Amino acid sequence: MAYEVRLKSYEGRGGMARQKLGSERRRWERLPIAIPVFLRGVDDRGKEFLEFTSALNISAGGALLAVRRYMKRSSRVTLEIPSAPLPQLEVAPQVVRNIRAEVVRVTHSDHGHLWALKFTRPLA
């Protein structure tokens, strides 16, 4: 049986996140949706790269990406979320399009890699 605990969100912004006790250690619930993203970073040879890929799931604190290239843990990258042009509104919502992150885990497969990312600043 899994028990749920409510945790305060990043820096007490008033929101709440759920965490299951036991094997689950995540602060925020993951949304299992595929989102196309551009991944920008610098490889281990110091060469900048830009790769179009997909986030397989995402939360306020991080994401899981399917990526063709290998990257070391602790590498810093930026996710760029493409979007259609927004209409001109008097009160336009704040839209996050560039998210800085750190690679915290890499899982290898025959067809690519899965990168677990932790966002530098959680999404509000």
The CATH number of the domain where 107 resides is what? Answer: 2.40.10.220
Residue 45: inside a domain, yes or no? Answer: yes
Residue 16: inside a domain, yes or no? Answer: no
Residue 64: inside a domain, yes or no? Answer: yes
Residue 36: inside a domain, yes or no? Answer: yes
Residue 23: inside a domain, yes or no? Answer: no
Q: Quote the radius of gyration of the chain (alpha carbons, Å).
A: 16
Residue 11: inside a domain, yes or no? Answer: no
Structure token pair of residue 120: 């530098």
Cα 55 from Cα 63, distance rounded (Å)? 6
Domain extent at residue 39: 29-82+94-119
Q: What is the count of structural domains for the chain?
A: 1
- Most confident listed range (41-45, 95-99, 103-107): 103-107
> How long a stretch of residues is the chain?
124
Task: Report residue 12: phi and psi, to 5°.
Answer: 60, 40
Per-residue pLDDT tens over the stretch 8-38: 333 333 444 444 444 556 678 989 999 999 9
What local confidence, expressed as pLDDT, does residue 90 receive? 73
Per-residue pLDDT tens over the stretch 44-59: 899 999 999 999 999 9
Task: Provide the 8-state DSSP code for 2.
Answer: -
Residue 24: inside a domain, yes or no? Answer: no
Question: Is the pTM for the entire model greater than 0.75?
Answer: no
pLDDT band of residue 88 (cuts 50, 70, 90) is: confident
Say whether pLDDT at 61 is over 90: yes
Residue 72: inside a domain, yes or no? Answer: yes
C-alpha pair distances (Å), 80 with each of 10, 85, 103: 22, 15, 15
